[in-house]
Amino acid sequence: MARTLKDYPSVTLKAEDLDDKIDFDGIFGRSGAVHIEIGTGKAAFLLNEARARPDANFFGIERASRYYRYAVDRIGRWGLTNVRIMRTDAVHFLTEFVPDNSVDFFHIYFPDPWPKKRHHKRRFFCPANLGQLIRILKTDGRLKIATDHAEYFEQIRKLTADESDRLEEIEFVPTAGAEIGEWVGTNFERKYLKQNIKIYTLALRKI
């Protein structure tokens, strides 16, 4: 029998509650390094990283209702006070509501590769969206990316290389939830590793 998913208003932010640029200190009720994960899935990364870094603030964005509801339930049941999550379109949220130089880390793990060529325009990584990430990151802020899709990874590498005056590549350090042989410890990564699919990672620093 499937468990009933509960809503936890204390960990969610609704789109209708926003009418101006977001104040992360106000959202969390304290100051601290701000991490944003785009595409939280079932929140494996958020849960593990937030527990490992209680002094930091974690904000998750998930568009798919089924994953969002599951993530809210897990975050709420674990009683984490340094995590907030929002169901919204990431591009709209970043463009309209996130101030310049306000985020310390972006985490984007296994974004939809939209493998068919006619769907490539739907991919998150494009010059405009990368520009938004750079605008929002603080100086010395970090962007961490993981994907199982080789062609998409090459596209991402080319995009970021074109921004070499604002981004420099750094070592990708595994996340708190990663086990031996893993990079980020998410459900997607573990599924792909069981299938012997190669994982590609990239970490960048805003200069």
The residue assigned the tokens 């339930």 is 73
Instruction: Give residue 42's Cα distance to chain centre.
Output: 12
Closest CA to 82 of 151, 122, 35, 42: 35
Read off the pLDDT of each residue in 6-25 and give the average, rounded to a whole number. Answer: 91
Catalytic residue among 112, 140, 148, 162: 112
Give me the residue spans of the domains in the chain: 9-206
- Mean of pLDDT over the chain: 95
Pick the CATH number of 9-206 from 1.20.140.10, 2.60.40.420, 3.40.50.2300, 3.40.50.150: 3.40.50.150
Question: Is the predicted pLDDT of residue 48 greater than 90, yes or no?
Answer: yes
Total-model pTM: 0.95
User: Is 25 considered catalytic here?
Assistant: no
Please write the tens of the pLDDT for every residue from 186-195.
988 999 999 9
CA distance 202 to 144: 6
Amino acid at position 113, single letter = P
CA distance 39 to 187: 12
Confidence of residue 2 (pLDDT cuts 50, 70, 90): low
Q: Characterize 19-52 residue by residue with b for buried, 16 or more Cβ atoms within 10 angstroms of its Cβ, and e for exposed.
A: eeebebeeebeeebebbbbbbbbbbbbbbbbbee
Question: Is the predicted pLDDT of residue 33 greater than 70, yes or no?
Answer: yes
**Total number of residues shown for the chain:** 207
